[in-house]
Amino acid sequence: MRNLTKYGKEIAIGIVPVAFVFLIYVGFPPAVLVMSVLMVSALFLFSRARGGGLAVGAAGKKAATRKPSFLNFEDIGGQEQPKRELKEALEFLVERERIAKLGIRPLKGILLTGPPGTGKTLLAKAAAQHTQSAFVAASGSEFVEMYVGVGAGRIRDLFKEARQLAVKQKRESAIIFIDEIDAIGGKRDGGGQHREYDQTLNQLLTEMDGIQGDESVRVLLIAATNRKELLDSALLRPGRFDRHIQVDLPDKTGREHILNIHARNKPVDPEASLTKIAEETFGFSGAQLESVMNEGAIYAMRDQSELIRMPHLSQAIDKVMMGERMDRETTREERERVAIHELGHAIVAESVRPGSVAQVSLTPRGQALGYVRHHPQQDSYLYTKRVLEEQIMIALGGAVAEELHYGGRSTGSRGDFEQATNIVRTLIESGMSDLGIIHPQALTQDMWSKENGAILEALTEQTRKLLGAHMETFRHMLAHLIQEETLSGEQLRNRMKQLVA
């Protein structure tokens, strides 16, 4: 019976044409036969579009077959605070009798918010393992269709399948996980209830309201989104999503924990410092850190090395940040201009933040012909006016270096200027410009342009004076960088100290 189900499609493909030919052979009218087939097909498709009858909702079927891999909270690195909050919120599924004695209303929903790749899905899977619950997963995009009523039907099927799966697995609770919930939970603009995604959201709200604490199978909805601000207020209120847990990018300690987790099954050289790699990956998400370890293993395989060494991991950081190395042929003049441009960034960075440059490279990666890799001395989340001005000067360093050597700029500075103007906007909106504390919407376009130009002009002049005092450094380091294609931060610092001395 199981084999018949498994190969049912292949059997049907073989039998149907033979039956069709046989009926024509015995005298059955072909036109009537074709009309019958078309009518049955139309009925089947209509049933699926309605989300009921002959077809069970697609989201519900898919969700029921998804089982979480064995994953504990201890296997997730860098998210200690979210894990503590989530464990506390899950107590009502674990300590049911204690919760009932205290008269606590069971939670109905938990919303995980934060940047992509920070581990929201992993937290949901670990929650199911922690509470020994049946686990059903779906994506918000699975509920969005052009036909009205399909998404709502799939929402109903999703909750139904979660309860049935819990009964089948003999579990007392079920966790439904909806990733990218903003696809169905966006704000309604008052345009009526005829749109498909409004109907889907209404059905989700109804299902959440129907989750009762005295059910034999207790259901908890966990959702994840990168854009909480887009969600409808009816979805965010208490009684729907009772807990909002922020899952942010990991700090240095968290990054090192994540790197160690992904190094468990890899032959990492004992001399390779994952602590240093954690320092150089500020702003990386858990997914990016996993990719660093994976790419490091790939580089080790290319070098036919039995161990993943420090150079492999350094190359992996560049790969994740900038993209794959490109085989672009550049002229001598272009290479020299790129080298001067990148040295401009590096010299300014070392002048305003000693020890911040990790490497200067002329290796083309992604859209960049060269790059400077920095590593922060410590994680920072608040910035002073001087720190932001230093960032702008570092961004302008490449263009100013080209001006000093060639008398003009190139198109290679486009991304630098975009970065500089974004930081200027942060300065103005934070009340750290000469305009003082002012709402951004109160500024006209002319006021924005004037203040932006004044800040950039003043910092460009400071950068010009700084690089003008290091022309000898350019002369000594240029030939080395062009020949070797890479320059370590230590080499740059030693040369700058020698010339100053």
- The letter for the amino acid at 159 is F
Distances (CA, A) of 322 to 249, 296, 316: 19, 15, 10
CA dist 332 and 334 (Å) reads: 5
C-alpha radius of gyration, the chain, whole number: 30
DSSP annotation of 424: H
- Residues 6 or more apart whose CB falls under 8 angstroms from that of 22 comprise none
Using DSSP bridges, classify how beta strands 371-374 and 357-361 pair: parallel, antiparallel or unpaired. Answer: antiparallel
Residue labelled with tokens 């910035």: 383
- Rounded CA-CA distance 199/134 in Å is 27
Task: Measure the CA–CA gap between 362 and 181, rounded to whole angstroms.
Answer: 42
Q: For 325, which DSSP code?
A: B
Strands (E), 293-438: 357-361, 371-374
Strand order of the β-sheet with 371-374 is 371-374, 357-361, 486-488
d(CA 195, CA 188): 10
What's the distance, Cα to Cα, between the start and end of the chain in Å?
Answer: 86
Distance CA 218, CA 104 (A): 14
The CA distance from 33 to 130, in Å, is 57
Burial of 80 (0-12, 13-18, 19+ CB in 10 A): middle
How far is residue 401's CA from residue 393's CA, in Å, rounded to a whole number? 12
Q: How many CB atoms lie within 10 A of CB 249?
A: 20
Helix spans in 210-331 (H): 233-236, 252-262, 274-279, 286-302, 310-322
Q: What single-letter amino acid sits at 274?
A: L
The tokens for 202 are 């209404």
Output the six-digit token pair for 90: 């899950």
Q: Is 342 a catalytic residue?
A: yes
Cα distances from 212 to residues 98, 221, 460, in angstroms, run 17, 12, 63
Catalytic residue among 161, 256, 342, 451: 342
Task: State the sign of the Cα–Cα–Cα–Cα dihedral 79, 80, 83, 85.
Answer: negative
CB 251 within 8 A of CB 201: no
Joined together, the tokens standing for residue 36 give: 């019958």
User: Which residue is listed with tokens 């000898």?
Assistant: 472
Catalytic amino acids? 342
